[in-house]
Every structure is written in C-alpha cells, then in structure tokens.
Amino acid sequence: MKKSVIIIAASLLTSVAFAQVANEAEHLFTGNENNAFTEQWGSFNTAFVEAAGNFNYSEQLQFGDGNYSNVFQFGISNETFQLFDGNDNWAELYQDGEDNYATFFVNGDENFIYGEQVGFANMMQISIDGNYNMVNVFQYGAQNEAWVNIYGDGNESYIEMDGVYNYAEQMIYGSGNYADAIMVGSGNTALETQYGYGNAIMVDQYGENNLTVVGQDGFSNYSYTGQFGNNNSLYVSQGGEANWNETYQGGDNNSASINQYGYGNSNYAEQTGVGNMLDLNQYGTYNHSELNQNGYANLAQINQDGYSNTVYMNQAGAYNELYAEQNGEANLLMTTQIGEGNAIYSSQNGFSNTTEIMQEGNYNFSAVMVAGGEGNIVNAGQYGDGNINNVYMEYGSDYNNVSINQGGFNNTIGDGAFENGIYISGDMNFSSVNQMGAFNSAKATVYGSGNVSGIIQH
C-alpha cells in the first residue's frame, strides 16, 4: 500500500513539473471588443493571441525564463500589453489598422522584442530594464509614434518608419548600447539620448522637414545623422570625453547645431545644398572639428572656448558666410572658401590662438579681430579680383603676428568700417602685406612700441 502511494505521489509531482515547463496559451478572436488575458509562471511557456476586429485588448504576463509571446491584431483601436519578468524572453507583435497601441515592459536579461505596425496613428512603447536586449520596431503609415527606453548594458534598438509625420524616441542608459532610426517620408522626428560609454546612435532621414535631436553624455560615444531631403534640422549635444559626431545633410535649407563639452571630442559635418546653416560650439580641451559646406548662400557660425581646440572649415560655392570666435589658448581655426562673394568674420581673444584663412575667387571679404592677448597668429591669403581683407588688433595686443597675401587685381586692405586696413594697438607686433597684381591698395595703422609693419606690392 505504501509503495502505491509513493508511486501516485511521484506521478503527480511529475505532472506538476511538466505543467510548469511546457504550458501554452492560445486566444483566437474574430469580432469586436474582445479581451484576452494570459498569466504564466514558470519556464518555456508560450502565449499566442490573434484578433481580427476592432477595440480588442490582449494582456500577457509572463514570469520566468524562456517565455515566448506572439500577438497579431487586425483592425482599429486594438491594444496589447506585454510584461516579461525573467530571462530569455521573446515577444513578437504585428498590428494592422488604425489607432493601435502596444506596450512592452521587460525586467530581465537576453530579451528580444519585434514589433510591426501598419496603418495610421499607431503607437508603440517599449521599456527594458536588463542586459543584452534587442528591440526591432517597424512602422509603416502616417503619424505613427514609437518610444524605446533601455536601462542596462549591451542593448540594441532599431526603429524604422516609412510614412509621414512619424515620431521616434530612443533613450538608453548604460554602456555599449546601439540605437538606430531610419525614417522615410516627410515631417519625421527622431529624439535620441544616451548616457554611459561606448554607445552609438545612427539616424537616417529621407524626406522633407525632418528633425533629429541627439544627446550623449559620457565617454567614447558615437553619433551619426544623415538627412537627405529639404528643410532638415539637426541638434547634437555631446558631453564628456572622446565622443565622436558625424553629420551629413544633403538638400536645401538644412540646419545643424552641434555642441560639444569636455575633452577630446571630435566632429565631422557636411552640408550640401542651398541656404544651409551650421552652428558649432566647442567648450573644453583638445576638441576637433571638420566642417564642409557645398552650395550657395550657406552660413556657418563657430565658437571655440577652451584650450587647444581645432576647427577645419571648408565652404565651396558663392555668397557663403563664416563667423568664427576663439576664446582661450592655443586654439586653431583653418578655413577655406572657394567661389565668389564669400565672407569671413573671425575674432580671437586669448593667447597663442591661430587663424588661417584661404579665399579663392572674386569679391570675397575677410575681417579678423584680435581682442587683446599675446602670441596670436593671423595668416590670410586671397587670390582673385576685388577681394577685401582687414585685421584689427585692440589695445593690449602684444607679440601677435599678421600676414596677408593677395594675388589679383583691385584687391584692398582697408575698406568701410575697417578703413584702417591692418590696425594694431600694442607692443612687439608684426604685420606683413604682400600684394601681387595691379590696382591693389593696402593700409596699415600701428600704435605702440616695437612693432613692425611691412607692405610689398609687385
């Protein structure tokens, strides 16, 4: 008798253990206003929901390891909610229709979420607290919205939107994270934020009136944004050390604002088109930027504040403008303009800063102001006809060096508000002018002691 009881008890325990390992829940709906609820505790569970109709709701709660959730909804105003509390979970969602909504909350490791929405005004929200997670979101249609928040390490988030007026937001905390957004259409918005180190953000937007906002704070982060269309806008802010930003804008009336704070940050930006605007601010030490504008009537504004920052600026086209300001010590600005009617306005305030200017073409204008300080260097070269160059050194500017070369006809040093040409007020400064061609004019005005000024025309 005792042996039979033992056998029966063992059989029951085996059944319970099997039930905890291999349960499956399946809901199939056809119609409207149906609700599906699934709650699973244990490992290797599966939840499946398929609903065809409107105003349907599904909820999956899975606690344990190795769970799988699969939801298909077809219609209008359907909603799904997925909670994972455990490891090795996998969720798959497909919604086809309008005004559908999906929410995922994940607590655990090695989770994978795939969500696809087709239609109009759909929304998807994903929040992950764990490691080694992967998120893929696909939205096709108009006015769709997607939010992804990840807290942990080694996460990857990918959002793809095809349509108009879509909105994507990805926020990642941790290290070694990767966020990617691709938006095809017009009027799309991407907000990307990362905190930590070794993170990467990539955004591609194809269309019109797109907006991208990128924020990274930490160490050794990477940001890439490509905007290909018209009237695109980009805002990038990087704080920390050894961060890298890369920007491409191809189209008309693009706008880029880039801010870098900290140590050893790098930036590369390229704009192609008409009426582009680029605003760069670097604060800190050993920051580096390479900027290129190709087109017509482009505008660039550069500000460097700190120590040993470097900017290389190239503008090719006509009627482009550059405004540059350097404050601090040992900063370098090298700029090249190729075309006609271009203008450069540069200001230095501090010690041992260097400005290198090269203009090739006709009717270009350059003005450099040194607002006090010592050991600053200004080298300017203009080659063409009808160019104007001016340098102004305020009182207290000592041990500075100015060198201007002009080649062509009807070039001038000294014009308009800068009628003094080269103006120096300080001690032990050196200036030289070399003009090659005909009908050129140059003027130098010097106040102080131990200064040297030379003009050569041939």
Q: What is the mean pLDDT of residues 367-395?
A: 88
Q: Are 370 and 346 in contact (CB under 8 A)?
A: no
pLDDT recorded at residue 272: 92
pLDDT tens-digit readout, 232-242: 999 999 998 88
Percentage of residues in the chain having pLDDT higher than 70: 94
Q: What is the DSSP string of 315-368?
A: EEEES-EEEEEEEEES-EEEEEEESSS-EEEEEEEEES-EEEEEEESSS-EEEE
Q: Give backbone dihedrals phi and psi of 176, rounded to 5 degrees, phi first.
A: 70, 25
At 340, is the secondary structure helix, strand, or coil? coil
Amino acid code (one letter) for 30: T
pLDDT tens digits, 253-291: 889 999 989 888 889 999 998 888 999 998 989 888 999
φ, ψ for residue 13, nearest 5 deg:
-65, -40
pLDDT digits (tens, 9 = 90+) for 197-232: 888 999 999 988 899 999 999 888 899 999 998 889
- Phi, psi of 5, rounded to the nearest 5 degrees: -60, -40
- Write down the mean pLDDT value for the chain: 88
Ramachandran class of 23: left when φ > 0, alpha when ψ lies in -120 to 50, beta otherwise:
beta
Own/partner contacts of 40-45, CB < 8 Å, gap of 24 or more, are: 40/64, 40/67, 43/67
3-state helix, strand, coil in the chain (%, to 5): 5, 70, 25
Cβ neighbours of residue 417 closer than 8 Å, sequence gap 6 or more = none
Average pLDDT over residues 415-429: 78
Q: pLDDT tens digits, residue range 319-343?
A: 899 999 988 888 899 999 999 999 9
Q: How confident is the model at residue 122 (pLDDT cuts 50, 70, 90)?
A: very high
Q: At 66, give phi and psi (nearest 5°).
A: 65, 30
Task: Give the separation between CA 357 and CA 324, rounded to whole angstroms.
Answer: 11
Both structure tokens of 245 = 């930003």
The DSSP output letter for 439 is S
21: which DSSP letter? Answer: H
Note whether 423 and 400 are within 8 A (CB).
no
Strands 401-409, 377-383: pairing is parallel
**What pLDDT band is residue 2 in, cutting at 50, 70 and 90?**
very low
- DSSP summary character for residue 298: -
Q: What is the pLDDT of residue 198?
A: 84
pLDDT at 105: 95
- Please say if the pLDDT value at position 396 is more than 80: no
Q: Is 224 helix (H, G, I), strand (E, B) or coil?
A: strand
Q: Which residues pair with 138 in a beta bridge?
A: 116, 160
φ and ψ at residue 456, rounded to 5 degrees: -120, 125
Distance (Å, rounded) from C-alpha 345 to C-alpha 418? 12
The DSSP letter of residue 45 is: -
Q: What percent of the chain has pLDDT over 90?
A: 56
- Are the beta carbons of 215 and 237 closer than 8 angstroms? yes
Q: Is the pLDDT of residue 91 over 70?
A: yes
127 touches 105 (CB < 8 A)? yes
Residue 359: pLDDT over 60: yes
Residue type, 20: Q
CA distance 230 to 134: 32
